[in-house]
Structure 1
Amino acid sequence: MRIMGRPRALVAVVAGALLLAGCGSGPSQVGAAVIIGDRSISVDQVQNLIDKAVREQPYARKLASEHKLDVVGRAVVSQLVLHELLAEATEKHGITPNYAQIDTQLANDPLNGPVPADASDETQAVNQVVARARDHREELTDTYLAQALTDKILPNLSVGFDYTSIGVVADPGTGVTPQGAEAKKAAFDLARQFAADPAAATKRIGSDLQYLTALRQQSGNPETVPGFVGAGNVVPAAQAGTLATTPLFGSTTGSAVVMPFPGQESAWLVAVIRQRTDDKPVATEKAPELDASTKTAIGMRQLQPLFDELGVRVNKRYGVWDAVAMNVAPSADGSQGTVLSPGGSGRTQQ
């Protein structure tokens, strides 16, 4: 009997040791929707907000009837992750909320009222649903802090980048303009080359600049040939407008970025960040006025590097983090691009 008892005792000791080891290694993914450093957001927290949205919002009930509440779940996780990253960034920069201003907003709460079931823009409607399901003071505080972060960072931020594109003009080798999944795959493959070998990026972009010159000479009207490639661009964020909301302004030096090409449907911009300056004032002309949504988005974009720095992990039941869209995508295939650090490590969470 003693011989049989010893293995059981040993198992108990080992199990206890493993339990203690687990307790000291940070939060567990079990039961967690997201882990952010030494903190976690539970699956229950996410589900409670989904349930509240369905109870209170016609648009959420419509999605429930269509078996599409996964869309709401991804939006909940996205907003809660950004909330945590924003708290980290603003603490680092010494930014605190102006609660008097936030209380004034709450007095005429812009988050009151339903999101109608017939809203036409699903992405916008879902984000509004989740914002209304969250604590309204917290949501308004996040908006205030994002805009304050923009005010703090924008005057000192400039980014230098080189870029080319896939899907804007015909490939010089094949004479065919890639489209759809083929174009996206080609853009991702090219970005991996750029991240792994900066010399390859310089060579490819130089070749594409020659191709652009040739196309414009052949056209007879150079303005009809879009600027699908460029080099030596150094752009102050204060002058960039909506461009400052993109991953070009949230990525570290040496990163390769894939994102939708501005103003070109189904085309992809592939860029290399050559320099990033954010520690001294940038001399610019008078900066254009920013609307509130752009100002908020610029502040949120500055949270991009924190995802990796804090070791954020999203439970795969919700999807993967898309560093370009700054939200949770259903899968890597559904992402709006990727950001690759030097050497080729991706920031679209796999």
Structure 2
Amino acid sequence: MRIMGRPRALVAVLAACLLLAGCGSGPSQVTTALYLGDRHVSVDEVQGLIDKAVQEQPAARQLAQQHKADMLGREIVRQMIVHQMVTQTAQMDGVVVDPAQISQVMAQDPLAAPVSATNTDASQLAQQIVYRVRDHREVVSDQLLLQSLGAQYFDKLTVTFDYTSVVSDDGGANPVSMREKAFAKAQQMAADPAAAAKVIQADSASGQQTGVGEKVPAVQAPDLAGMVLFGVEPGTVVAFQPSSAQPVWIVAVVRARDLTTPQAVDQTSEPTSTQLAAIGQRLLQTYLQQAGLKVNPRYGVWDPAGLALAPSEAETTGLVLPVKGPAQP
């Protein structure tokens, strides 16, 4: 992995990644925060980290005073899920991180100073607080493993998909309406194996931006490779908004996903550490499905598109649906 070969830049690279990364029914026992395979985390363990955050981090106290401590709970559960899955996945894929590299970062611990609520984007605030109240060495190890996992598959990961788009007529003034339209279209496309083709054909005839048989390697789209489109199995419909800055949603059905074939295509630029970590995290998605993740409803609902906890189903960032009926030959 190229990043691992540049020890002098490691601290700066990882610090930037830590500062910028945006990485059904719940458990029946009220004392359990989450189940993940044979692992479970207690509500007390999550609450202990919330209490620690409020005691140690001024920004956390501000959130608590604003009655937003639930943001910390959701982020703690998310990071626990990612930690468990990246540890297991790295073991299965033979991905390791040199302990000396972790020690090098810890020598100039980028998480030592409290997070500033004024200098941190609101969407990243809870993430940064939780990084600091967890074991810092574990946080650093998780990030390095995610980067290494992303690097291992970066030049081999490819998806082939058919898609249509949902574009706002009002410049995105009503994002809720756009989300609802995209979700409705995803449900149409997942109705049966032939439904997606019919929807895309109709949308194409009406002038919507569509595509069939689009094959995109991660090396040509490192930002997109960290999104939900690259994290699902063939025969899955996804709806997501590639950028909140653009009033466009994509609804796609994944036809093929390849993790083994190196791509002989031009690479526009080297991926950043943040992009590699996002790709590594996205690769955990199929393992999470296999592990049977269950989250206590007090922390919200799991959002597979965002790989995070959303307060409710109405606030998830996308939709993932299996195509109903037998697969097409």
Shorter chain as denominator, the TM-score bin is 0.7 to 0.9
**Structure with more contact order per residue of length (Cα contacts < 8 Å, sep ≥ 6):** 2
What are the Cα deviations for residues 186-214 of structure 1, in whole angstroms up to 9, with x where unaligned? 211211221222322112212222333xx
The residue aligned with 1:342 is: 323
Instruction: Give me the CA root mean square deviation.
Output: 2.1
What CA deviation, in whole Å up to 9, does each residue of 1:49-69 have, x standing for no partner?
A: 111111111110110111110
State the distance in 1 between where 2:56 and 2:173 align.
45
Question: Could you list the runs of 5+ residues in structure 2 that have no partner in the other structure?
Answer: 1-26
Q: Deviations over 1:208-233 (max 9, x none)?
A: 22333xxxxxxxxxxxxxx7322221
The aligned residue for residue 177 of structure 2 is: 182
Letter of the structure 2 residue corresponding to residue 153 of structure 1:
Y
Q: How many equivalent pairs are there?
A: 299
Structure 1 residues 231 and 262, CA gap change in structure 2 (3 angstroms): farther
- 5 Å matches for 1:10-159? 29-159=29-159
- Who wins on radius of gyration, i.e. which is larger? 1
Structure 1 portions without partners, runs of 5+ = 1-26, 171-175, 213-226, 345-350
Is the 1:119–1:125 Cα contact (8 Å) retained in structure 2? Answer: no
Q: Of residues 221, 225, 228 in structure 2, which corresponds to 1:240?
A: 221
Instruction: Give the conservation status (yes or no) of the 8 Å contact 1:153–1:278.
Output: yes
Letter in 1 for 2:302: W
Query: Given the two structures, how large is their TM-score scaled by the length of structure 2?
Result: 0.85
Confirm or deny: 8 A CA contact 1:257 1:339 kept in the other structure.
yes
Q: CA deviation at 1:121?
A: 1.7
Answer whether contact 1:166 1:178 (CA < 8 A) is retained: no
Cα offset for 1:43?
A: 0.8
Verify the 8 A CA contact 1:86 1:300 in the aligned structure 2: yes
Name the residue aligned to 2:204: 209
Question: Which amino acid in the other structure matches residue 237 of structure 2?
Answer: A
Q: Which residue of 2 aligns with 1:199?
A: 194
The amino acid that maps onto 1:203 is K
* SS of residue in 1 equivalent to 2:163: strand
Q: Is the 8 A contact 1:168 1:264 kept in 2?
A: no
**Per-residue deviation, residues 221-249 of structure 1 (Å, max 9, x unmatched):** xxxxxx73222210111111200010011
Task: Assess if the C-alpha contact under 8 Å between 1:321 and 1:327 holds in 2.
Answer: yes
Contact 1:59 1:119 in 2 (8 A): no
Secondary structure, in 3 states, of the residue corresponding to 2:214? Answer: strand
Structure 2 residue 252 is the aligned partner of structure 1 residue 257: no
Alpha-carbon distance between aligned partners in 2 of 1:331 and 1:32, rounded to the nearest angstrom: 19
What CA distance in whole angstroms lies between the structure 2 residues aligned with 1:177 and 1:122? 21
